[in-house]
Amino acid sequence: MQMRRLGKDGPQVSAMGLGCMGISDAYGTRDEQEALATLHRAIDLGINFLDTADVYGQGHNEQFVGRAIRTRRDRVCLATKFGLLRDAQGRLTGVCGTPAYVRSACEASLRRLGIDTIDLYYQHRLDRTTPIEQTVEALAALVREGKIRHIGLSEVDAETLHRAAAIHPIAAVQSEYSLWTRDPEDEILPACRELGVGFVPFSPLGRGFLSGRVNSMSDLPPEDFRQRLPRFQGDNFERNRAWVSQLEALAAQKGCTPSQLALAWVLAQGEDIVPIPGTKRRAYLQENLGALEIRWEAEELAALEQVAPRGVAAGARYPEALLQITR
């Protein structure tokens, strides 16, 4: 397995990680037997970087991942997140980064995971009512106590990252990044490189759209989170499907799948980048890993850029109501 380091002094992890959210949340029904087999297969294949969060399945995901790795803890760099709040019905209601909440959330995650130390602990979204310095100071205290090893931030801007890094080293920033979401190139990715912070793209396959497997909304279960995302709806869907069809043609020329093409593009953006495509199926896991073997010629990247230039995606990443909570 190819390895990459997150940050100047952060953990060394597999060049591709595994996002675990879909096991418990957002993407249709659960199949715990297949999900467990997928997690174990990932570890067997050398993927040591697993990503979860307390909010996924309202704690179920951490419990599931914790049970899955219990006898293999020494082979896993485990990342989890705190800060998003949900009500009893699972609806997002806000963000919290107060020092007291940081500590209580960490202790709750440790209990659910069944471990003594979290390898990489992210603030899931920025709490704009709590100065980032206070949040990071609380996280730094957890580092000193041995409850977490490294600090991460998710979906923050460059100014916030600089302020956080002035308090304690930040190992990684996690943000959505893919052929159809390239906003991090403006500020946060350059800031990460200036400060020596690793970058972890989530949804590097555009929540599955870039795989070419979503041909109509009927391909998704009614309860699937993507049913509510603007890029999957109406005219936006049709416009996005049109350019993804061109992506499929490029993949065929390259002798790979669209998923492998899209992941290989993300991997080619820098050795400091570690994408975490999510899957709960062994077949897709194996397919995704094939991206690590793809090598690019300059003209191939130029052709890909022509098909999927910056701003190619039609529609916003999230519904406005969700952005009001998490932006």
3-state secondary structure of 192: helix
Task: Give the dihedral of Cα atoms 287, 289, 292, 297; nearest 10 deg.
Answer: 10
CA–CA separation, 123 vs 53, rounded Å? Answer: 10
Instruction: Cite the beta strand spans of 110-221 per DSSP E.
Output: 118-123, 148-154, 172-176, 198-202
Residue 125 CA: distances (Å) to CA of 81, 92, 94, 139, 175: 9, 12, 9, 14, 10
CA–CA separation, 247 vs 210, rounded Å? Answer: 8
CB contact at 8 A, 139 and 151: yes
Q: What is the DSSP string of 240-272?
A: HHHHHHHHHHHHHHHTS-HHHHHHHHHHTT-TT
3-state secondary structure of 143: helix
Selected catalytic residue, list 27, 56, 177, 284: 56
Query: Can 56 be counted among the known catalytic residues?
Result: yes
φ, ψ at 15 (rounded to 5°): -60, -20
φ, ψ at 256 (rounded to 5°): -140, 180
CB contact at 8 A, 65 and 278: no
CB contact at 8 A, 115 and 66: yes
Supply angle C-alpha 85, 91, 95, rounded to 5: 25
Catalytic residue ranges:
56
